[in-house]
Amino acid sequence: MGSTVGGIVGAAGSYFGGKRAADAARDAGVRQMQAAEKAFEASKFKPVGITTRFGQSAFETDPYGRVTSATYTATPEVQRLQEQLSGMYGSSLGQAERAMAMQPQYEQAGQGLFNLGQSYLAESPDQARQRYMQQQMDVLRPYDIEEEQRLASSVFGRGRGGLSVGAGGQPELQALAESRRRRDLQLAAGADQAAQQQISFGQGLLGGSAQTTGLGYGLQQQALAPFQAQFGTAQGLDDAAKQSLQMGLGIGEAASLAGARAGELYGNNMARANTSFQKQGNIRGGMLSGMGQSFGNMLGGMSMPTGSGGTMPGIMGNTASGMPYQYGARGTGGGYST
């Protein structure tokens, strides 16, 4: 009986000890969960609304700290300036459009100069020189014939009929031939210079073509410059109003960097909480298993032999025969019989 009572007391002690350990593990898990929730809140992105002399910003976030909307509002002064600039660059844009409409005319004139320059550069320098020489000879040929006829008439009038060439020939004819050789040399030099001038002129026409076409684009840029300056100023005012938006995002980002550590703590605390809850479950499961085994041992111990003379009766009697135990005498020793 004493062992049975001791078993009951031991089982109860084990139960209460295990319960305390399980409760401690559960409490630790709860604390870790609470710490994880705080870390999660700290890790959220928290942008800050900023007000400057140019505008103010506002943000909205979801429960996880993600920005769902971000707005900024320019001050009334900035809005008035933007409206004035809008009226100015609207007119300037019309000027740029008119300059753009003239561009096809510049391109047409440039194409004409380009084609003309190509025609001057179609000949090689030798071809240009020969053509120049032939043109000059064709122009001078009537004068040469007239001069020859006049010279022949003058010599015939002096009683020297006919003209001859060679040693001892007519001196007038020799002088004429010499004069024409010098002239031809001068024409050849002029032909080389004319060919060079033709090439340079053709190149100039090509350059003029590019300049004429580029002139139209230059006028467009000049006409567009006022619009760009006015629009850029308006954009600068808008950017100045946006500074509050950027500042708010910057502060929120800086806070998020600190929150990153909190986010890491969140993960660690969640892992510890899961471990604590698992430990609690293991302890309670072990308690039930231990209690079942203890009571099983106690029940079995009540039917174990207590000495050489007999055994302790079972709770429900002899389970082997299904009959209750009865005490009596067997032999000379005390005991019981069934």
Cα distances (angstroms) measured from residue 63 to each of 44, 46, 246, 257? 8, 11, 22, 18
Q: Tens digit of pLDDT for each residue in 267-290?
A: 566 666 667 666 666 666 666 565
CA distance 127 to 121: 11
Report the pLDDT averaged over residues 80-97: 86
Residue 195, pLDDT > 80, answer: yes
* Total-model pTM: 0.41
Query: What angle do the packed helices 171-301 and 76-101 form, to 10 degrees?
Result: 140
Residue 167, pLDDT > 70, answer: no
pLDDT classification of 317: cutoffs 50, 70, 90: very low
DSSP 8-state assignment for residue 74 = E
Within 10 A of 264 (CB to CB), how many other CB atoms are there? 12
Residue 64, pLDDT > 90, answer: no
Kindly report the average pLDDT of the chain as a whole number. 73
Q: In this predicted structure, which of 71-75, 105-109, 275-279 has the lowest mean pLDDT?
A: 275-279
**Is the pLDDT higher at 317 or at 199?**
199
pLDDT at site 313: 46
